Amino acid sequence: MTQHAQVPPFAVIPGIQVHRVLSGQEKRTIDLVEAAYRVHGEGDTVNPPSYFLRFPDRPSSRIIALPASLGGASRVDGLKWISSFPENVATGIPRASAVLILNDHTTGYPLACLESSIISAARTAASAALAADRLSQGRGRPRRIGFVGTGLIARHVHSYLAGSGWSFDEVGVHDLSAEYAGGFRSYLEDSGESGRITLHDRAEDLIRASDLIVFATVAPAPHVSEPAWFAHNPVVLNVSLRDLAPEVLLASANVVDDVEHCLKADTSPHLTEQLTGNRDFIDGTLHDVLTGKVEVPVDRPVIFSPFGLGVLDLAVGKHVYDEVVARGELNVVDGFFHEVDRYGRGGTPRARS
């Protein structure tokens, strides 16, 4: 006898619910991201290249599709659809906006549409915090941190470091906009940051004064090209991917989230590959570090360049979905799938809840 699958209900999870689930859960989110990296490294994922929608009349803007499938304990498929419109910032609204679609692993039916700018920022910050922890082992935890770029991602990275037990003696801040740098300083003060906060007019001064450096800008091309600025061998979180010139990477140890994904779209590692004609400068992936396959040197700067994997969004998004279901707060859209019987018999069967 043919077994009939049930069509899952479709739900919409707004940003307020996402925020409620993830707020104060930095350690849990870092664990989710680490687990996703391990599943990806073991080959139990599908993570094809990201697809870029660009506009001839708006060359600085783009919308990116990140399809993915995550195995392991939280099997789910899906798609993140995230826009980056840098000119939004000048009008007072965030640069990025996003939604995440989760698909049922068994039937392929969409389960939910989640507001995903928070999820995207959370998985990015969790990835950065995880890398900072693992890449600084053997060096001692950095006591001086510097932020180049002071937007949403910088704020999330700081909150994830603080929420997972990091503390600093000094916090450096650099942004091309004095207004944005001042706003980030106010955020740091309001967050309870105990370290001394210094605003730097020049990126060089911040880099030389920091043992952990976070690049979180919208720079389209490298603007930091002096390896000598990194002579004190800091850990560098190259989150925005395009700030560092190849000369800096060639003088450093380099760890990426995924080699094939990271070496494209004119990222700093991609430009380095184009310059050298090879990938010998890549020491390994974060999964290699997590599993002990790669030992990070302590006598050179170490740079983590994460292109951003769709499976991380799925891991965090599925957790949010499961938590909302567990709390009995799932906002189901009744009748979203109008006809779910193959032969149109008996109207629309009631979806399982």
- DSSP class of residue 351 equals P
Segment 194-226, tens digit of pLDDT: 999 999 999 999 999 999 999 999 899 999 999
Q: What is the pLDDT of residue 2?
A: 52
Residue 328 in this model has a pLDDT that exceeds 60: yes
Q: What mean pLDDT do residues 273-302 have?
A: 97
pLDDT value at 339 more than 80: no
For residues 79 and 293, give the distance between their C-alpha atoms in angstroms, rounded to a whole number. 31
CATH topology for 135-305 is Rossmann fold (3.40.50)
Q: Give the 3-state secondary structure of residue 302.
A: strand
pLDDT digit string, tens, across residues 227-281 = 999 999 999 999 999 999 999 999 999 999 999 999 998 999 999 999 999 999 9
Whole-angstrom distance, CA of residue 255 vs CA of residue 296 = 9
Rounded to whole angstroms, the Cα distance separating 212 from 205 reads 13
pLDDT at 353: 42
Return the number of other C-beta atoms located less than 10 Å from residue 104's C-beta: 19
Burial degree of 317 (CB within 10 A; 0-12, 13-18, 19+): buried
Rounded mean pLDDT, 326-349: 79
Query: Is the CATH code 3.30.830.10 the one for domain 11-119+310-326?
Result: no
Confidence of residue 90 (pLDDT cuts 50, 70, 90): confident
| Structural tokens at position 309 | 């994997």
pLDDT tops 60 at residue 349: no
Displacement of CA 347 from its chain's centroid (Å) = 43
- Cα 253 vs. chain centroid, distance in angstroms? 21
Structure tokens at 67: 């399809």
Each domain of the chain, given as residue ranges in start order, spans: 11-119+310-326, 135-305
Q: What is the Cα–Cα distance from 315 to 201, expressed in whole angstroms?
A: 38
* Higher pLDDT among residues 13 and 218, named by residue: 13
- The helix or strand, by DSSP H or E, that contains position 81, with its residue range, turns out to be strand 76-84
Choice among 3-17, 63-77, 204-218 with the minimum mean pLDDT:
3-17
- Location of structure tokens 């911040």: 206
Residue pLDDT, tens place only, 124-147: 999 999 999 999 998 989 999 999
Query: 20: left (phi > 0), else alpha (psi -120 to 50), else beta?
Result: alpha
CB 121 within 8 A of CB 94: no
Residue 300 tokens read as 């050179």
pLDDT tens digits, residue range 165-181?
999 999 999 999 999 99
User: What is the pLDDT of the chain when averaged over all its residues?
Assistant: 94
Query: Percentage of the chain surpassing pLDDT 70?
Result: 95
Residues 143-161 have pLDDT tens digits of: 999 999 999 999 999 999 9
pLDDT surpassing 90 at residue 74: no
pLDDT at residue 1 is higher than 70: no
- Residue 20 pLDDT > 50: yes
pLDDT at 4 (0 to 100): 63
Q: Which residue has the tokens 């149109």?
A: 344
Residue (of 243, 269, 274, 266) closest to 255 by Cα position: 269
